[in-house]
């Protein structure tokens, strides 16, 4: 089954503490950080991720580009991110496809749920991303033994006792 994740960019930025704090001083930095986090998530999870940013008050036709294999969409003039997300859900809907929409906007969650997509609250997406990062770290750097002596688990109890007697000078 093909899986898609559609993310309401500014909603997520406002909902995640780290990005919310960053957006107050550097909105572009917050967007870039979100793009980076979602690109990592996409590469590990195997989901196709669409990130939608609201350009409601910005004149123009909207914009679509790919960054780190992540599809980033800016809405066109007089179009909200919610409208673009709803249209995207409708276009992607099909057999053997599962669509998730990440937003904390309750009204939007109900609308996309009515269209057949599943909702993913912002906090839950953050937990999934952190969990994926942890799994990647564990795969790259498996935990080494915390024991002082790596041979301890490989020695018989008789041999351990003999070494202990030698250590004590017996």
Read off the pLDDT of residues 56-109 as tens digits, 9 standing for 90 and up: 556 666 788 898 889 999 998 888 888 999 999 999 988 899 999 998 888 888
* pLDDT of 153 strictly over 80: no
* pLDDT of 148 strictly over 80: no
Whether 13 contacts 19, CB under 8 Å = yes
Whether 129 contacts 137, CB under 8 Å = no
3-state SS, residue 3: strand
pLDDT confidence of residue 29: 92
- Sheet strand arrangement including 97-102: 63-67, 70-74, 48-53, 2-8, 97-102, 118-120
Note the pTM of the prediction, 2 decimals: 0.77
pLDDT tens, position by position, 1-59: 899 999 999 999 999 999 999 999 998 899 999 999 999 999 999 999 999 998 755 66
Sign of CA dihedral 13, 19, 24, 25: negative
Specify the DSSP element, H or E, that contains 53: strand 48-53
């Amino acid at each position: 089954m093909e899986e898609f994740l559609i993310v309401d960019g500014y909603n997520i930025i406002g909902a995640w503490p780290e990005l919310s704090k960053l957006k107050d001083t550097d909105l572009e930095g917050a967007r870039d950080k979100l793009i980076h986090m979602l690109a990592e998530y996409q590469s590990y999870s195997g989901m196709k991720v669409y990130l939608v940013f609201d350009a409601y008050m910005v004149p123009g036709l909207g914009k679509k580009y790919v960054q780190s294999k992540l599809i980033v969409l800016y809405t066109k003039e007089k179009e909200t991110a919610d409208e673009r997300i709803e249209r995207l859900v409708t276009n992607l809907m099909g057999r053997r496809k599962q669509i998730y929409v990440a937003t904390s906007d309750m009204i939007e969650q109900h609308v996309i749920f009515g269209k057949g997509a599943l909702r993913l609250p912002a906090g839950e997406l953050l937990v999934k991303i952190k969990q994926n990062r942890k799994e990647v770290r564990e795969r790259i750097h498996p935990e080494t033994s915390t024991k002082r002596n790596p041979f301890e688990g490989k020695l018989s109890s008789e041999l351990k006792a003999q070494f202990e007697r030698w250590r004590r000078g017996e």
